[in-house]
Amino acid sequence: MGTRTQLDPEVVVWSWWPCHDMTMTTSKTRGGKAQLLDYSEAEQMLRAGMTQAQVAAKFGVSQSAVSLAIKRGRIKFDTGFERLLPWTMKAEHINLSVPRGLRLAMRVQRGETQDMPPYLRAQGEGFIRTLEEMDAVIHYDPEVHPHWFRVPRRHGIDQGLIREPKID
């Protein structure tokens, strides 16, 4: 067994024989490739108000890589959409098509479309238009399949896109 020596914080040298050194860097790797996304810096950038797309461009990764890092808890950042929805949702219901469409529509309503691809903006606008045409809102019931429902709007009670859950 060789002796381990530390030359600097980034390089670890394993000495097998006096004349043979094997150098191994301590940079993080993923699938044999260097990890491009610095989670700590990405978190700081998001907290400073940058979008996931802007963070992705800085590190040369896709926006979905940033989103996945947030979902897996590697980047500690609250996207805020769960707080905007008034329900305590089961984990398996959060990413179904209706809540995803609802979150997208809420972004459109708040005017957060500057970095949004046109097809996503159109989906959000279509979600809003459908609810308006039906004079309906979204209701969530975790115990009744399919869990997400369009229900008639109760005028004077239901505001926006969501059925007011505290009044039934």
Spans of all domains in the chain = 1-35, 36-78, 81-152
Residue 29: pLDDT band (50, 70, 90) is low
Sheet architecture: strand order including 11-17: 3-8, 11-17, 20-25
Read out DSSP for 139-150?
EE-TTSTT-EEE
- Residue 11: pLDDT over 70: no
- Residue 14: pLDDT over 70: no
pTM across the whole model:
0.55
DSSP assigned state of 25: E
Given a contact cutoff of 8 angstroms between Cβ atoms, the answer to whether 25 and 57 are in contact is no
pLDDT tens per residue across span 44-58:
887 776 788 888 999
- Residue 143: pLDDT over 70: yes
Q: List the beta bridge partners of residue 8.
A: 11
Helix (H, G, I), strand (E, B) or coil at 13: strand
Q: How far apart are CA 117 and CA 67, in angstroms?
A: 16
pLDDT tens per residue across span 112-141:
888 788 988 999 999 999 999 999 999 999
Q: How far apart are CA 99 and CA 110, in angstroms?
A: 16
| Domain covering 36-78, topology | Arc Repressor Mutant, subunit A (1.10.10)
